[in-house]
Amino acid sequence: MGATFRKHLTSATCAIALVCSLNLYKRDVARNPLDVAQNHWEAIATEDTERLSTGYREDAILNQSHGLVAETYQGQSISAAWEQFFSQYTIEDFKVVAKERRNRLVAAEFKITAKSDRGSTVFLWVSYQVHVDATGKITQEVWQANSEFVVQAIPTQRTEVDRG
């Protein structure tokens, strides 16, 4: 075997190893469940239903409980659930209070300040879990929100001053 052939073989082997390593690195970095969750939260905060829809696997499940009401959505019905949520609430502030990643699961708590379709400002505290598959798609999402806490303006009373 000639020296030139060995150099080419060594270069080719290194190139293949590098490509494989980069693919593994890209898969791990691009499909990090916490990154997927944060991208998802940004889509919620900006009420971007199209971006939300592309984040779910076709057979994904969304469980939402709000106070005493619990709903389960699967597949295409998830988009309709988000559209309904955004028709009821206009998000003014979305804060992630805590987050933790465990393998392919992300658990979080966040506080949402929104304007309700009834005109009042509401606060929602949400306990949240999302499962992300190896391709970076959401397979299951769980929302557990408290009953909405409504902030109402208290009218001030005006009194007429007797100027006489």
pLDDT value at residue 68:
74
**44 and 122: one domain?**
yes
Tokens of residue 45, six digits = 């905060």
**64 and 94: one domain?**
yes
48: Cα within 13 Å, side-chain hemisphere: 11
**43 and 120: one domain?**
yes
What is the pairing mode between strands 121-132 and 105-116? antiparallel
pLDDT value at residue 130:
97
Split into its structural domains, the chain has a count of 2
160 CB neighbour count, 10 Å cutoff: 5
**86 and 139: one domain?**
yes
Domain that residue 127 falls in: 33-151
CA distances in angstroms from 1 to 6, 7, 12, listed in the order given: 7, 10, 16
pLDDT value at residue 66:
80
- CATH code, domain carrying 37: 3.10.450.50
pLDDT in tens, the chain (164 residues): 577 767 766 776 666 766 555 555 555 545 799 999 999 999 999 999 999 999 999 999 999 988 778 999 999 999 999 999 999 999 999 999 999 999 999 999 999 999 999 899 999 899 999 999 999 999 999 999 886 666 554 444 444 544 44
Does some domain include residue 11? yes
CB of 130 within 8 A of CB of 40? yes
